[in-house]
């Protein structure tokens, strides 16, 4: 069974924010919410890296672990989705997520929160596929249409990869082999220390 | 406070009124809530249809994989 994954090639990202724009437009994301955003490390300095970040659809999702109403579920494609009908907007998932993926619309004064919104891997939600209700609540369901998330399909430098984890890992591996140096994936040096060589 | 009640004396009619109203509302609330108390918490079950795999290797997906591999194919 294919496992859907995102992989951002930080050596290629030029922080054009086309992925952010594409996501907002495709899914009619409410004002004030960004399901995807570009994070830049060491901005303006040598070795600057930009990474496009969204929900990483974790295998053991912390958001699902802390949800008091158990509104999260994982599909057979390994996509982490949630039911907005069950969500109570408590914000626990926001604190649990290491990527800051869960977002909340501001529904009124005094900081009151609405239902949580996050990247759906362009695969809709628990409503029936390709219905108006599904689109209004969760956005597009491109996966059901036989397509991949638009953020990745739009990426002009082919930095953002999406799809079957095994396939995109193979593509990325080929790139690293061709470049002749270690992975530019942000965070690897943090994870593996000095044992891994990363170009700057 | 009525004129026949001295300062410091409890107005029994007023207290008894609220006590009786409170008692009735507690009984009513218990009657309404009792069906929910017996219900156990349930985790969200999306069902097999909602959680089924939707990913397919279509021409669109194949084109995405092919074009993302161009860098390596040129060299």
pLDDT in tens, A100-122: 999 998 777 777 788 999 999 99
- Reported as type and span, the H/E element at residue A134 is helix A132-138
| Residue in A74, A126, A147 nearest the CB of B60 | A147
Following DSSP, what letter does each residue of chain B receive, concatenated?
Answer: --TTSPTT---HHHHHHHHHHHHHHHHHHHHHHHHHHTSPP-----HHHHTS------HHHHHHHHHHTHHHHH-
On whether any CB of chain A is under 8 Å from the CB of B18, the answer is no
Chain B closest-CA separation from residue A89 CA (Å): 16
Q: What is the pLDDT of residues A181-199, one digit of tens each?
A: 655 555 556 656 666 555 5
- CA-derived radius of gyration, chain B: 35
Tell me what ipTM this predicted complex has. 0.87
Inter-chain touch A152–B64, beta carbons under 8 Å: yes
B52: confidence class by pLDDT, cuts 50, 70, 90? very high
Residue A200 has pLDDT above 60, yes or no: no
On whether any CB of chain B is under 8 Å from the CB of A126, the answer is yes
Report for A71-75, A195-199, B25-29: range of highest mean pLDDT: A71-75
What is the C-alpha separation between A191 and A25, in angstroms, rounded?
A: 35
Residues B36-47 have a mean pLDDT of: 66
Q: What global pTM score does this model have?
A: 0.77
On whether any CB of chain B is under 8 Å from the CB of A85, the answer is no
Please state which of the ranges A57-61, B5-9, B14-18 shows the lowest mean pLDDT.
Answer: B5-9
What is the C-alpha separation between B71 and B75, in angstroms, rounded?
A: 7
pLDDT computed for residue A62 by the predictor: 93
B75: confidence class by pLDDT, cuts 50, 70, 90? very low
Sign of torsion over alpha carbons B75, A168, A183, A195: negative
Inter-chain touch B67–A158, beta carbons under 8 Å: yes
């Amino acid at each position: 069974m294919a496992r859907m994954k995102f992989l951002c090639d930080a050596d290629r990202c030029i922080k054009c924010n086309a992925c952010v724009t594409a996501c907002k437009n495709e899914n009619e994301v409410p004002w004030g919410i960004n399901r995807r955003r570009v994070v830049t490390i060491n901005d303006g300095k040598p070795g600057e890296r930009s990474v496009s970040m969204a929900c990483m659809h974790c295998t053991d999702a912390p958001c699902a672990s802390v949800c008091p109403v158990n509104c999260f579920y994982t599909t057979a494609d390994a996509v982490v989705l949630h039911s907005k009908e069950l969500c109570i907007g408590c914000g626990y998932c926001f604190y649990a997520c290491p990527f800051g993926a869960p977002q909340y619309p501001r529904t009124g004064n005094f900081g009151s929160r609405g239902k949580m919104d996050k990247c759906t891997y362009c695969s809709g939600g628990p409503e029936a596929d390709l219905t108006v209700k599904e689109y209004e609540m969760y956005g597009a369901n491109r996966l059901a249409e036989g397509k991949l998330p638009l953020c990745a399909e739009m990426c002009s430098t082919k930095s953002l990869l999406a799809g079957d984890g095994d396939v995109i890992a193979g593509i990325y591996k080929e790139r690293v082999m061709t470049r002749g140096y270690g992975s530019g994936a942000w965070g690897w040096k943090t994870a593996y220390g000095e044992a891994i060589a990363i170009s700057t | 406070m009525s004129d026949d009640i001295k300062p410091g004396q409890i107005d029994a009619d007023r207290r008894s009124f609220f006590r009786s109203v409170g008692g009735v509302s507690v009984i009513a609330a218990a009657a309404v809530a009792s069906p929910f108390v017996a219900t156990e918490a349930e985790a969200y079950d999306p069902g097999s249809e909602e959680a089924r795999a939707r990913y397919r290797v279509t021409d669109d997906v194949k084109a995405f994989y092919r074009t993302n591999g161009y860098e390596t194919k040129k060299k």
